[in-house]
Amino acid sequence: MATKPTTIIEAFQRAGQGQVFAFYSRIDAAAQQRLLSDAAEIDLAEIARLNATLLAPSSSSPGLGPSPGPGSSPSPTPAVNLDALTPAPYEPLPENGGNPADWARAKTAGEAALRAGRVAAFTVAGGQGTRLGYNGPKGTYPVTPLKQKTLFQVFAEKIRAAGLRYGRPLHWFIMTSHANHDATETFFKTHAHFGLDPARVHLFRQGRMPAVDLNGKILLETTDHIAMSPDGHGGSLRALARSGALDLMDREGIDTLSYFQVDNPLVRGIDPAFIGWHLLRHSEMSSKMIPKAYAAEKVGHFCLQNGRLVVVEYSDLPKALQDETDPATGRLRYIAGSIAIHILDTKFIRRIAAGGAGLALPFHRADKKIPTVDAAGAPLKPEKPNGVKFEMFVFDAVPFAKNALVIETRRADDFSPVKNAEGLDSPQTCREDQLRQFARWLKTNGAALATDTTGLPSIAVEVSPLFGYDEDSFADSWKKLNPKPALTERLYLE
Ligand code: UTP
């Protein structure tokens, strides 16, 4: 994009987006610069394409992109395509019929990759966290039951512990947004990177997209700022390329990226069996699934479509399909729920980030209340959705991946996100799930801890990830602990 003001302004006028500069002559020089700098980030041709496809009258529902491949259209895809959909196959856990020897082989392969330094952790932390309503980067939200460790501290300690276990400190990539980048950076500095080598913690910003009104006109947030928002977790793939993170990985001999979200402290971000499955199957993108708890559970569904693995959002899968059961077992047919935990091959990320015909991730539309300005430039807080944000979703990369793989995991070991302030997926449910996990580890290793029928312990306990961050590491530390501690209220193992 050219930097001369007149060139930028003329380009916007030619694209029918001249309203962005409606107040330009009335704002001071610094404000003009701010507006021009926002404008320079925008790919007007991309916005025109999105307007033509996602804002067309026939495409009022969010787009789903499960049908790429030969002969398919490049991004964006206008409508949900449910043709020839069937439930996806997955590798079941040994206790559910999986082959224990295969799982053991996968774990060994994953451990070898970790020892060889081929794996890095990747957290997407650029979301706005509106549902939680917390004022600050979500990763700085305190979550653990006793010590109130923040999400970032939990992940940092897990990553540090895994590095020690495998004799190779891991690199950790964290995607931030324009809005939370500085606060995130300050947070890590203030906490001395939680004992990690700062040279191995890499923060980078994700891209932004402008919001448009319902007629496709780019909205102003103020007279000197365009209404811009993060481009979705799917934006992480191109941000990894643009930021130089992929080059760094190449230099460090990293070819395998373990992707997880900032809001899920239970996640086994470094899971040798998962890594091993991915590597042994030569998969370019692997995913964990949990069996859905009930038909209407709000998770994406792993499905097959024309031989390709796809993820269909819960809002896009018709209720009749969600409710379908297998006559032989009585289980839901579309059972495989996506929990946003993936392993990605770095060459695959580069390919997707480069885009090109039939390879780019589609954008989805989300209708939102977008604060803007009125004709006089005064702030306007809409009561109902007045515009559209465009976002990419990382799971839309799945259909492009060779040998895409899904493995089963236990919900209790991997998934308890903090999404809402109260109720489902809230700090309270997450705290209880952590307590259950700590109690389970203790009981499995012989501690006589009383729990209720849901597995919740009668006392509050906390296990530092540096003591144990998964079943194996906990068992090893517990074995060495002599004498064993008394199981009393506020027991903290570190
Ligand atoms: P969510 O879909 O839960 O969105 O993100 P959110 O923005 O965090 O929260 P709400 O919907 O406003 O309440 C899932 C994960 O994807 C990351 C989030 O930080 C979280 O880890 N994410 C989401 C990004 O990194 N960038 C985005 O643009 C969107």
442 and 415 in a single domain? The answer is no
CA-based angle 110:116:117, to the nearest 5? 95
DSSP state of 369: -
480 and 385 in a single domain? The answer is no
- Could you tell me where the DSSP H helices lie in 285-408? 319-323, 346-354
| Residues in contact with 252: Cβ distance below 8 Å, sequence separation at least 6, in sequence order | 117, 120, 171
Number of domains into which the chain is organized: 3
Please report the pLDDT score of residue 72 as a whole number.
32
In a domain? residue 53:
no
Q: Which of 393, 421, 449 is the last residue of a domain?
A: 421
Calpha distance 227→212 (Å, rounded): 8
Contact between 144 and 459 (Cβ < 8 Å)? no
Q: Could you tell me whether strands 491-493 and 461-463 are parallel, antiparallel, or unpaired per DSSP bridges?
A: parallel
Please report the pLDDT score of residue 62 as a whole number.
38
Length of the chain: 494
What is the Cβ-side half-sphere exposure of residue 150, based on CA atoms within 13 angstroms?
17
* Best probe residue, ligand 1, of 122, 128, 231, 238 (max atoms within 8 Å of C-beta): 128
Please report the pLDDT score of residue 436 as a whole number.
98
Atom of ligand 1 minimally distant from the CA of 264: 21
State yes or no: cis peptide before 66, omega within 30 of 0.
no
CA 3 to centroid of ligand 1, rounded, Å: 31
Please report the pLDDT score of residue 452 as a whole number.
98
Q: Which of 421, 438, 456 is the last residue of a domain?
A: 421
Calpha distance 173→120 (Å, rounded): 7
Please report the pLDDT score of residue 81 as a whole number.
84
Calpha distance 124→204 (Å, rounded): 10
16 and 94 in a single domain? The answer is no
Atom of ligand 1 minimally distant from the CA of 420: 13
CA 366 to centroid of ligand 1, rounded, Å: 13
294 and 197 in a single domain? The answer is yes
Q: Could you tell me whether strands 172-176 and 119-124 are parallel, antiparallel, or unpaired per DSSP bridges?
A: parallel
CA 347 to centroid of ligand 1, rounded, Å: 25
- Residue 134 tokens read as 């917390």
CA 152 to centroid of ligand 1, rounded, Å: 15
Contact between 160 and 274 (Cβ < 8 Å)? no
343 and 465 in a single domain? The answer is no
Calpha distance 23→377 (Å, rounded): 7
Query: Which CATH number covers residue 90?
Result: 3.90.550.10
* Best probe residue, ligand 1, of 123, 236, 261, 266 (max atoms within 8 Å of C-beta): 261
* Best probe residue, ligand 1, of 141, 154, 262, 392 (max atoms within 8 Å of C-beta): 262
245 and 337 in a single domain? The answer is yes
CA 124 to centroid of ligand 1, rounded, Å: 8
CA 233 to centroid of ligand 1, rounded, Å: 7
203 and 290 in a single domain? The answer is yes
| Residues in contact with 30: Cβ distance below 8 Å, sequence separation at least 6, in sequence order | none
Atom of ligand 1 minimally distant from the CA of 236: 25
> In this predicted model, what pLDDT tens digit does every residue of 232-253 receive, in sequence order?
999 999 999 999 999 999 999 9
Calpha distance 63→390 (Å, rounded): 10
Q: Which of 396, 421, 446 is the last residue of a domain?
A: 421
> In this predicted model, what pLDDT tens digit does every residue of 250-294 receive, in sequence order?
999 999 999 999 999 999 999 999 999 999 999 999 999 999 999
In a domain? residue 54:
no
Strand partners, 407: 91, 288
266 and 321 in a single domain? The answer is yes
Other beta carbons within 10 Å of 339: 22
CA 232 to centroid of ligand 1, rounded, Å: 7
388 and 438 in a single domain? The answer is no
213 and 264 in a single domain? The answer is yes
Strand partners, 218: 212
Residue 102 Cα distances to 99, 293, 294, 336, angstroms: 5, 26, 29, 20
Closest CA to 233 of 162, 168, 177: 177
Specify the residue with its C-alpha closest to ligand 1, atom 7: 127
In a domain? residue 489:
yes
- Residue 366 tokens read as 């989300």
- Residue 141 tokens read as 């939200």
Q: Could you tell me whether strands 201-205 and 172-176 are parallel, antiparallel, or unpaired per DSSP bridges?
A: parallel
Specify the residue with its C-alpha closest to ligand 1, atom 2: 127
**CB-count burial class (<10 Å; 0-12, 13-18, 19+) for 341:** buried
Specify the 3-state DSSP secondary structure of 345. strand
Calpha distance 283→70 (Å, rounded): 20
In a domain? residue 360:
yes
118 and 243 in a single domain? The answer is yes
In a domain? residue 28:
yes
Please report the pLDDT score of residue 3 as a whole number.
64
CA 416 to centroid of ligand 1, rounded, Å: 15
Residues with CB under 6 A from ligand 1: 124-131, 138, 175, 206, 230-233, 235, 261-263, 419
Specify the residue with its C-alpha closest to ligand 1, atom 18: 127
| Residues in contact with 213: Cβ distance below 8 Å, sequence separation at least 6, in sequence order | 219, 372, 386, 387, 388
Which residue has tokens 């509106």? 130
CA 62 to centroid of ligand 1, rounded, Å: 17
Domain that holds residue 112: 61-421
The stretches in the chain having pLDDT less than 70 are 1-3, 57-79
CA 127 to centroid of ligand 1, rounded, Å: 3
Q: Roughly what angle, to the nearest 10 degrees, separates helices 151-166 and 100-115?
A: 90
Other beta carbons within 10 Å of 94: 14
490 and 401 in a single domain? The answer is no
Calpha distance 88→80 (Å, rounded): 18
Alpha carbon 138 to its chain centroid, in Å, reads 13
